[in-house]
Amino acid sequence: MAGGHWMALQRELVDCLASQDLSYAEVAMDPARKAPTLADLDALPSGIKGEIIEGVLYTMTRPRGRHQRTGLVIGRDLLGPFDQGRGGPGGWWIVPEPGIELPNTPEIAPDVAGWRRDRLPVLPDDAPIVVVPDWVCEILSPSTRRHDLLVKKPYYAKVGVAHHWVIDLPARTLAAYRLESGRWVELGVYGDERDARVEPFAEVALDIASWWI
């Protein structure tokens, strides 16, 4: 993207977030601009993160501490039994905020995602993951709620993610979904359970109540 075009886009983004008191924005690309690229993400202002999904650049303020901690706790609880095979079956890669590249979507990053190793035998060292995840987890917070529910959730169904967890921090709940015939089917909503068995990780009981501490 030419420097002048990017500067105009950057001003448009900052003005949108500031004047309307929004923490989320869809930045439409006019025909004179090139399609957004990873370079555009790298040039975003400090405190703003972005994703490019189906050729559209989406931006939002970066999640705060509680959001980030919850992602770490969920990843920790799954990493031992499912990624490393300690106290569980193993056979997964569990990755926080992975950089995933799919057709016409050069950058999408769930809060936590998982791949069965029979579909992704080797985790790339210094390259984006180009395989659709088997499971994604998104954490809703003021800066991400609209984007996660209206853009990413239907996109995950479209590309064939098999399982989707949605964490609602204000409500302290986990809603679990399975993809069936291209549509999300709710499997259950959890909040205070100390030994929940939730697909696709039902082999090991999870202390979901501890995630909100």
CATH number at residue 176: 3.90.1570.10
Residue 33 has a pLDDT of 61
Residue 50 has pLDDT above 90, yes or no: yes
Residue 18 has pLDDT above 80, yes or no: no
> Which band of pLDDT confidence, cut at 50, 70 and 90, is reported for residue 3?
very low
Q: Provide the 10 A C-beta neighbour count for residue 5.
A: 15
Residue 153 has pLDDT above 50, yes or no: yes
Q: Which of 44, 61, 78 is the last residue of a domain?
A: 61
Kindly report the CA angle at 197 between 195 and 201, in degrees rounded to 5? Answer: 125
The size of the chain, in residues, is: 213
Kindly report the CA angle at 62 between 61 and 67, in degrees rounded to 5? Answer: 125
Are 39 and 130 within one domain?
no
Are 48 and 145 within one domain?
no
Residue 159 has a pLDDT of 97
How much of the chain, in percent, has pLDDT values that exceed 70? 85
Report the DSSP beta bridge partners of residue 151: none
Are 105 and 27 within one domain?
no
> Which band of pLDDT confidence, cut at 50, 70 and 90, is reported for residue 6?
very low
What pTM does this model have?
0.85
User: Mean pLDDT, the chain, as a whole number?
Assistant: 88
Q: Which of 42, 61, 80 is the last residue of a domain?
A: 61
CA distance 167 to 67: 10
Burial call 89-111: b when 16+ CB within 10 Å, e when fewer: eeebbbbbebbbebeebbbbbbb
State the first-to-last Cα distance of the chain, in angstroms, to the nearest integer. Answer: 44
Residue 22 has pLDDT above 60, yes or no: no
> What is the number of domains present in the chain?
2
Are 105 and 50 within one domain?
no
Are 76 and 175 within one domain?
yes
Q: Which of 61, 91, 106 is the last residue of a domain?
A: 61
Which domain does 48 fall in, by range?
A: 3-61
Tokens 């959890």 found at? 190
Give the lowest-confidence range in 61-65, 113-117, 124-128, 178-182.
61-65
More confident residue, 117 or 17: 117
